[in-house]
């Protein structure tokens, strides 16, 4: 049975065209309704507009210092300089082996972190604040006692002046020999006062400092270190995913524009019946098919890359608050709902009707699918820009 294609303003099938227009509107209503319901849900969700309270030191942003030049000695006797950290992600702590109070706790935490970061390229560095006593031999015995992997956990010593200057001037942390140490109830004395924070160093730049006494802060440190130390191809996936979403939107708009062009047989100036067998011979229809198939393949590649990234890198939390956070979470929720429960089933229905030659039914399904699919593609780009490139997201929002 031939498919009747209409050339406005001939009006050969005005009812069909009106039906398509109503279906486009229906798709738009679904998008708008999902966005509004998502926004309302975010507003009603307790605490959704306020990010978790965190010390500013966990994300130093532009205030983070680069490590100055230094020459220290590792427990193995090997000389370590700033060049050895230039291409590494490292977690640095400050201890001394004669410390009776907080250092054993810090080292135990670092030992736990070592296990959690197994299989990654994250380096652990323990910097002695008692270098005269903590010789490489002493540090080696201490490291072995705490099962420190020599390839993944370094213990450094050196000149006191250099170490203290590095801690104070670069890490912006306190360290000093206590002139009047006060013994605890059990008689233990901590002769050197120093910070218990764990510093995160990203390729030679100090980007955050985390409270070792806060298990949640240590968990965030481990999570962020894993992302930073991920292979370059994995760190590039968010930008790749945004590009795929943008390309999909372009393909959708191009395919939609092509199918809206007038089609006519030779000698027929207005409307014409085009047999199904000749439908794909129409250049505009063939172009439409091409771009829609490419859009579908692009979405499939995006989904694969998206799943791979979140499997290895986990999720990234948006750090903003107030109206900005509401906007982000509303877009994210509506995007996720429409991508999962809208685009996937609608695309399958639309595609199956085209493959079975039910082109009128295909057009009706496509009219609903198109605005929803386009919204999901465009908001995929918007989410990436808000999460990784807004000023508020710098540092904590990135990899």
Q: What angle do CA 248, 250, 252 make, to 5 degrees?
A: 70
- pLDDT for residue 222: 95
Helix (H) or strand (E) holding 12: none
User: For residue 362, is pLDDT > 50?
Assistant: yes
- What number is the average pLDDT over the span 56-65? 81
Domains of the chain: 3-53+234-393 (1.20.120), 67-203 (3.40.30.10)
147 vs 183, higher pLDDT:
147
- pLDDT for residue 187: 58
Q: Half-sphere exposure of 360 toward its Cβ, with a 13 Å CA cutoff? A: 14
User: For residue 188, is pLDDT > 80?
Assistant: no
Q: Which of 98, 95, 97, 147 is nearest to 125 (CA)?
A: 95
Lowest-confidence region among 41-50, 101-110, 186-195, 235-244: 186-195
- What number is the average pLDDT over the span 17-36? 87
User: What size, in residues, is the chain?
Assistant: 399
Name the strands in the sheet holding 123-128, side by side, starting at the edge strand that comes first in the sequence: 79-81, 71-74, 153-157, 123-128, 89-95, 197-202, 205-211
pLDDT tens readout for residues 307-343: 999 988 888 888 788 889 999 999 999 999 999 999 9
- pLDDT for residue 11: 44
User: For residue 360, is pLDDT > 50?
Assistant: yes
Q: What is the pTM of this model?
A: 0.78
């Amino acid at each position: 049975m031939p498919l009747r294609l209409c050339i406005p303003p001939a009006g050969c099938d005005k009812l069909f065209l009106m039906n398509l227009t109503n279906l486009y509107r229906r798709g738009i209503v679904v998008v708008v309704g999902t966005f509004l319901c998502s926004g309302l849900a975010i507003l009603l969700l307790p605490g959704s507009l306020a990010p978790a309270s965190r010390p500013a030191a966990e994300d130093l942003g532009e205030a983070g210092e680069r490590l100055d030049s230094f020459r220290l000695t590792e427990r193995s006797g090997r000389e370590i300089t700033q060049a050895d950290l230039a291409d590494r992600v490292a977690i640095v702590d400050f201890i001394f082996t004669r410390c009776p109070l907080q250092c054993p706790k810090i080292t135990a935490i670092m030992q736990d972190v070592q296990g959690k970061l197994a299989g990654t390229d994250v380096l652990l560095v323990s910097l002695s604040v008692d270098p005269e006593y903590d010789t490489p031999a002493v540090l080696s015995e201490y490291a072995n006692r705490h099962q420190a992997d020599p390839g993944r956990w370094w213990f450094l010593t050196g000149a006191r002046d250099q170490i203290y200057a590095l801690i104070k001037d670069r890490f912006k942390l306190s360290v000093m020999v206590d002139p009047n140490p006060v013994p605890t109830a059990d008689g233990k004395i901590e002769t050197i006062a120093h910070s218990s924070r764990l510093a995160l160093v990203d390729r030679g730049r100090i980007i955050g400092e985390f409270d070792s006494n806060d298990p949640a802060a240590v968990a965030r440190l481990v999570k962020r270190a894993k992302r930073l130390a991920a292979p370059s191809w994995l760190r590039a996936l968010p930008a790749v995913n945004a590009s795929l979403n943008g390309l999909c939107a372009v393909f959708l708009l191009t395919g939609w524009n092509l199918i809206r062009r007038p089609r006519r047989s030779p000698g027929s100036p207005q409307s014409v019946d085009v047999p199904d067998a000749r439908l794909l011979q129409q250049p505009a229809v063939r172009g439409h098919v091409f771009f829609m198939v490419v859009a579908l393949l692009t979405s499939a590649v995006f989904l694969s890359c998206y799943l791979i990234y979140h499997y290895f890198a986990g999720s990234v939390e948006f750090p903003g608050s107030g109206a900005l956070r509401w906007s982000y979470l509303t877009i994210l929720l509506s995007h996720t709902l429409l991508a999962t429960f809208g685009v996937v089933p609608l695309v399958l229905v639309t595609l199956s009707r085209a493959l079975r030659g039910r082109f009128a039914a295909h057009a009706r399904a496509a009219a609903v699918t198109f605005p929803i699919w386009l919204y999901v593609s465009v908001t995929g780009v918007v989410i990436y820009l808000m999460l990784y490139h807004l000023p508020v997201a710098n540092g904590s929002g990135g990899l």
